[in-house]
Homo-oligomer: A and B are copies of this chain.
């Protein structure tokens, strides 16, 4: 392993000068700089992050905390996009990402504290599906750079989330404008705040037309397509079935489509379906699913950018909302008659 001293010796300069070149700082003549750079290239020298971190008081690593319970959630292509966005930004900042999956909710915060105190990470991105409450304390003791992906109300964490409310609102507006009045909703038993916001969008859209959310037309799933299928079946088995179903995520929407097909209900003629997320399979379903796009990449991207802003000491806005977009495809049409 080459060290900075070896490079210095080979170039006939002091390590201090090599350091200046490495951090491209002034007060090095063009010739020496070139010489040193050549030696570095020849030896393939790469500075040790350990040593560098010790002086700079940085580890150049941030933590990504995901709840292990997010088994299905992790499987969500949306999260993958998110991670891609985060990694993209991390790479441009020469940072690496430590993955920490917390089993129990309480564990997450203490694991995070441990990682911070032991200088393993400089900051963290937390998925809101982890209970964020314990993190408030962490922040107070540590004022470490931390951002949450999700709504993190009452936690002093910087929160980044998609415009769930607006997305649901526009999905419902669209269905209503097509003429639908009996609209089924596939929600979930477990209700992260994002879902709460989507439901709020649903309610507000209905109220704007003088309608209200009919409890009978709500079915519950667990985000999986299988649960969506069951929910769809339940809704469609009602004496007066809905003419449209808004599933609060794509996988459940795809389940609903499956249920409809098995009941010989044609989409979109007899039933309109809208999902939420715009996962890759949404556009590949038959017919392709109308849905609300949640830009995962952008979410990850801005979350990471906020994190780095915090690391650099600049004060980013306390919360960022990433816009969503209604993608109209083939599963929506005006109701019959």
Contact = CB atoms under 8 A, between A and B. Distances in A.
A278 to B, nearest CB: 15
Contacts of A280: 71
Given A84-B101, A101-B87, A119 B68 contact: no
Interface in A244-284: 258, 261-262, 280-281, 284
B84 A80 contact: no
Contact of A119 (B48, B71, B97): B48
Interface in A185-231: 224, 226
B68 A84 contact: yes
A53 B118 CA distance: 11
A205 B59 CA distance: 54
Contact of A99 (B51, B53, B98, B117): B98
A133 interface: no
B75 A71 contact: no
A157 to B, nearest CB: 21
Interface in A1-36: 1
Nearest to A225: B225
A256 to B, nearest CB: 15
A77 B83 contact: no
How big is the A interface, by class?
35 or more
Q: Which of A1, A68, A117 has the most CB of B within 10 A?
A: A117
Given A46-B117, A119-B49, A226-B284, A83 B101 contact: yes
A77 B75 contact: yes
Contacts of A285: 226
Contacts of A262: 261-262
B87 A80 contact: no
Contacts of A74: 80
A299 interface: no
Nearest to A75: B75
B97 A99 contact: yes
A85 to B, nearest CB: 12
A120 B49 contact: yes
A97 B96 contact: no
A47 B84 contact: no
B281 A226 contact: yes
Interface string A41-81: 00010111111011000011100100010010011110010
Interface in A115-155: 115, 117-120
Contact of A118 (B46, B71, B97): B46
A46 to B, nearest CB: 4
Given A53-B50, A224-B281, A258-B258, A96 B115 contact: yes
A100 interface: yes
Q: Lowest 4 CB-CB distances: which A-B pairs, in order?
A: A99-B99, A46-B117, A48-B119, A75-B75
